[in-house]
């Protein structure tokens, strides 16, 4: 096993350097396809399987981005299990170099990681990036959910080359993809990311509340998102529901649409669907959002994020 971490001592630093030399060229780079993303989990808080969530899906937060030779995974909710199965089926025994960006360590954003099949193949490299977990380091939080008696194998025992890095800077690169992070308004330490690819940019804020009392913070968010090709953002509540959930750290649909219009975003995906919302409710919210855009004579495209949907960036 070549499991490494930024918190390890000198011996593990040496192992990490050796593993880096052995790191293969990502298999995805062999196919110069346009940048694209795919939704694998779109639900918030807890998985919601069943007949009333078939259209939009019931898995928690996970989005795959393929761009500029990189496979970048945004969050590791239960949707990452399905992504892992697809990657193994697609690449078989060819080595994979994967990067997982975590927005935060609430359970619905990490609970699929123990079931991510590429982590159990020794030829693969998995780099996990995120910020400090609540009261504990990132590695401690991620390893904790796989300790006995919760799981039969520990994170440090999986065969793949896993490297966990606790980020300190708000700007970094994943290969040629430039990434900027920004803290979100959500309980505990939580961030959103904006990925700048050669085909356009993707912003991902799965958990965030826009506080209309803080105009300065909202202006900074608008500046951060300005001109994004794709914005994936927390729209858990409609206006009536939001009045009962102010301060919970989740988005109000009307506020997010107004923000996206102001930032001149090209396409908005409603995300982090409430576990109490069935397919009909989510479709109603999508229709309402489109009416808001039409009333402003805006050009913003609005879709409710749906599992299995692939989106090409810049189109």
Cross-strand pairs, 206 = none
Distances in Å between the Cα of 292 and the Cα atoms of 129, 259, 287 are 36, 12, 9
Contact indicator for 13, 28 with CB cutoff of 8 Å: no
Beta strands in 154-237 (DSSP E): 161-166, 171-174, 177-183, 191-197, 200-205, 230-234
Predicted local confidence at residue 217, as pLDDT: 86
Q: 172 exposed, middle or buried (CB, 10 Å; 0-12, 13-18, 19+)?
A: middle
How many other β-carbons are positioned within 10 Å of the β-carbon of residue 183?
14
| Strands of 16-95, DSSP E | 36-41, 62-67, 70-74
pLDDT of residue 3: 44
Q: How much is the pLDDT for 94?
A: 96
Q: What would be the CATH architecture of the domain defined by 4-12+21-312?
A: 4-Layer Sandwich (3.60)
**Under 8 Å between Cβ of 172 and 236:** no
8 A C-beta contact, residue 134 and residue 98: no
Q: Where are the domains of the chain?
A: 4-12+21-312
| Per-position b or e across 96-112, b if 16+ CB within 10 A of its CB | bbbbbbbbbbbebbbbb
pLDDT at 292: 98
Model pLDDT, residue 135: 57
Instruction: Give 26's DSSP letter.
Output: P
pLDDT at 12: 37
Angle at 78 between CA 76 and CA 81, to 5 degrees: 85
Distance CA 124, CA 118 (A): 7
In degrees to the nearest 10, what's the CA dihedral of 201, 222, 269, 119?
60
- Tens-level pLDDT at each residue, the chain (315 residues): 344 444 444 433 443 344 444 455 455 544 468 999 999 999 999 999 999 999 999 999 999 999 999 999 999 999 999 999 999 999 999 999 999 999 999 999 999 999 999 999 999 999 999 997 655 789 998 999 999 888 989 998 999 999 999 999 999 999 999 999 999 988 778 999 999 999 999 999 999 999 877 788 889 999 999 999 999 999 999 999 999 888 777 899 999 999 999 999 999 999 999 999 999 999 999 999 999 999 999 999 999 999 999 999 977
Distance of CA 73 to the CA centre of its chain: 6
For residues 219, 250, 196, 21, the Cα torsion angle rounded to the nearest 10 degrees is: 130
* Cβ burial, residue 225 (10 Å; 0-12/13-18/19+): buried
pTM of the predicted model over 0.85: yes
Q: What pLDDT, on a 0 to 100 scale, did the predictor assign at position 187? A: 79
């Amino acid at each position: 096993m070549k499991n490494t971490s930024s918190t390890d001592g000198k011996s593990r630093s040496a192992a990490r350097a050796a593993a880096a030399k052995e790191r293969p060229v990502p298999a995805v780079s062999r196919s110069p396809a346009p940048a694209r993303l795919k939704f694998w989990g779109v639900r918030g808080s807890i998985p919601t399987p069943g007949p009333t969530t078939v259209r939009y899906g019931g898995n928690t937060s996970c989005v795959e981005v393929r761009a500029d030779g990189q496979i970048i995974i945004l969050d590791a909710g239960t949707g990452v299990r399905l992504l892992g199965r697809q990657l193994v089926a697609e690449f078989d025994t060819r080595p994979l170099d994967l990067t997982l960006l975590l927005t935060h360590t609430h359970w619905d954003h990490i609970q699929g990681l123990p079931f991510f099949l590429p982590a159990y193949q020794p030829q693969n490299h998995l780099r996990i990036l995120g910020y400090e977990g609540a009261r504990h380091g990132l590695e401690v939080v991620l390893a904790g959910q796989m300790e006995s008696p919760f799981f039969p194998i520990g994170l440090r025992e999986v065969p793949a080359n896993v490297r966990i890095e606790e980020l300190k800077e708000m700007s970094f690169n994943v290969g040629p993809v430039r990434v900027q992070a920004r803290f979100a308004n959500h309980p505990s330490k939580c961030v959103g990311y904006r990925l700048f690819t050669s085909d356009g940019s993707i912003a991902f804020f799965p958990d965030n509340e826009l506080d209309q009392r803080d105009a300065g913070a909202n202006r900074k968010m608008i500046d951060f998102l300005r001109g994004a090709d794709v914005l994936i953002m927390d729209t858990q509540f409609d206006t009536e529901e939001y009045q009962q959930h102010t301060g919970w750290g989740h988005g109000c649909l009307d506020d997010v649409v107004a923000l996206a219009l102001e930032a001149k975003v090209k396409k908005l995906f409603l995300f982090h669907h409430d576990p109490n919302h069935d397919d009909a409710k989510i479709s109603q919210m999508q229709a309402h959002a489109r009416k808001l855009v039409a009333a402003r004579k805006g050009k913003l495209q609005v879709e409710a994020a749906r599992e299995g949907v692939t989106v090409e960036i810049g189109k």
